[in-house]
């Protein structure tokens, strides 16, 4: 069975770090991993060790005007009326424009997805929405979406066919509040499995407090990732943070494997 995992949460909680660590773990296991950077403030390629020379030449899909025009029949920014394809062909875009990260992970940078409520009816949105919804999957594929912080971007097109929504929580009340809102919205949008991942946890007391805040809302904690100085060191040194995976990620994966049955 294919697996599509979305990673969300408040700003700075560790979404990109967790997405990269998971991508690396699945890839090491021989899975074909597509890591999708759905955050306009793109940082997933760096976390996955895409070399700087490659990174600075990455064009987000939303800025590929020729591609968007070729697929939808309309060019972003020009007057296009309503005569363009809302279901453009996207199945080859990942193979064509994805770049390679560590462990052979394919990284695709989406660029800006207009918020579902913004009423944007434009060719670039049509391509991004199609790609998010129809990322081509076979049984060897794992797709991991590193989402934009917060919940404004959450909508049907970004959550359709998501098997697991991971909501990252750090030891802060604001991140808990955001997580609970995201979890509620994801469930409303039909995501069957919503799991919390506690990150940057310093001690048992912090873990307990976070669990006490989440438990009453029925949000399952699937993994607890300790505060890890080596992640910060890797980040500062410009090294891929995906290489610093840990036991918690293995546990998280085990839980998701169970959910796939």
Ligand X SMILES: Nc1ncnc2c1ncn2[C@@H]1O[C@H](COP(=O)(O)OP(=O)(O)OP(=O)(O)O)[C@@H](O)[C@H]1O
Instruction: Enumerate binding residues for ligand X (CB under 6 A).
Output: 9, 11-17, 39, 43, 149, 199-200, 225, 227-228, 231-232, 235, 241
CB 35 within 8 A of CB 48: yes
CB 47 within 8 A of CB 19: yes
| Least separation in angstroms between CB 39 and Mg ion | 5
Q: Report what 232 binds from ligand X, Mg ion, none; CB cut-off 5-8 Å by kind.
A: ligand X
Q: Report what 145 binds from Mg ion, ligand X, none; CB cut-off 5-8 Å by kind.
A: none
Stretch that binds Mg ion, among 40-48, 108-116, 185-193, 204-212 (CB under 5 A): 40-48
Q: Report what 225 binds from ligand X, Mg ion, none; CB cut-off 5-8 Å by kind.
A: ligand X
Single out the residue of 7, 8, 9, 16 in contact with Mg ion (rule: CB under 5 A).
16
| Least separation in angstroms between CB 30 and ligand X | 25
The runs of H, that is alpha helices, within the chain are 15-28, 44-47, 52-55, 65-72, 93-97, 123-134, 156-159, 173-188, 204-214, 229-236, 247-259
106 binds Mg ion (CB under 5 A): no
Q: At what angle do helices 204-214 and 173-188 cross, to 10 degrees?
A: 40
In the numeric block, which tokens belong to residue 22?
A: 């998971």
- Angle at CA of residue 129, ends 67 and 36, nearest 5°: 80
Q: Based on CB atoms, which residue is closest to Mg ion, 73 or 150?
A: 150
| Least separation in angstroms between CB 20 and ligand X | 8
Q: Based on CB atoms, which residue is closest to ligand X, 122 or 154?
A: 154
Q: Which single residue is written with the structure tokens 């020729």?
A: 66
Q: Report what 12 binds from Mg ion, ligand X, none; CB cut-off 5-8 Å by kind.
A: ligand X
In the numeric block, which tokens belong to residue 247?
A: 């036991």
| Least separation in angstroms between CB 261 and ligand X | 29
Q: Report what 64 binds from ligand X, Mg ion, none; CB cut-off 5-8 Å by kind.
A: none
| Least separation in angstroms between CB 228 and Mg ion | 17
Cα dist from 175 to 149, 181, 203, whole Å: 10, 10, 17
Q: Based on CB atoms, which residue is closest to Mg ion, 42 or 106?
A: 42
| Least separation in angstroms between CB 1 and ligand X | 27
CA dist., res. 151 & res. 149, Å (int):
7
CA dist., res. 129 & res. 132, Å (int):
5
Point out which residues bind Mg ion (CB under 5 A): 15-16, 43
């Amino acid at each position: 069975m294919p697996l599509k995992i979305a990673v969300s949460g408040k700003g700075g909680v560790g979404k990109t770090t967790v997405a990269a660590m998971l991508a690396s773990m699945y890839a090491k296991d021989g899975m074909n991993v597509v890591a999708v950077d759905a955050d306009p403030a793109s940082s997933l390629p760096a976390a996955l060790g895409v070399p700087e020379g490659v990174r600075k030449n990455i064009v987000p899909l939303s800025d590929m005007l020729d591609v968007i025009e070729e697929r939808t029949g309309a060019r972003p920014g020009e007057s296009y009326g309503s005569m363009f394809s809302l279901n453009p062909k996207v199945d080859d875009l990942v193979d064509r424009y994805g770049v390679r990260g560590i462990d052979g992970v394919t990284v695709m940078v989406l660029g800006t997805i207009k918020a579902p409520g913004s009423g944007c009816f434009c060719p670039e949105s049509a391509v991004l929405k199609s790609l998010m919804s129809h990322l081509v999957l076979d049984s060897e594929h794992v797709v991991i979406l590193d989402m934009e912080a917060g919940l404004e971007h959450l909508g049907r097109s970004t959550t359709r066919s998501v098997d697991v929504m991971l909501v990252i929580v750090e030891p802060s009340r604001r991140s808990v509040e955001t997580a609970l809102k995201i979890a509620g919205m994801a469930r409303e949008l039909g995501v069957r499995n919503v799991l919390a991942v506690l990150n940057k946890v310093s001690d048992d007391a912090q873990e307990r407090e976070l669990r006490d805040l989440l438990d009453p809302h029925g949000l399952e904690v699937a993994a607890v990732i300790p505060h890890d100085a080596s992640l910060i060191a890797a980040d500062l040194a410009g090294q891929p943070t995906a290489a610093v995976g840990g036991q918690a990620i293995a546990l998280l994966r085990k839980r998701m494997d169970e959910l796939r049955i």
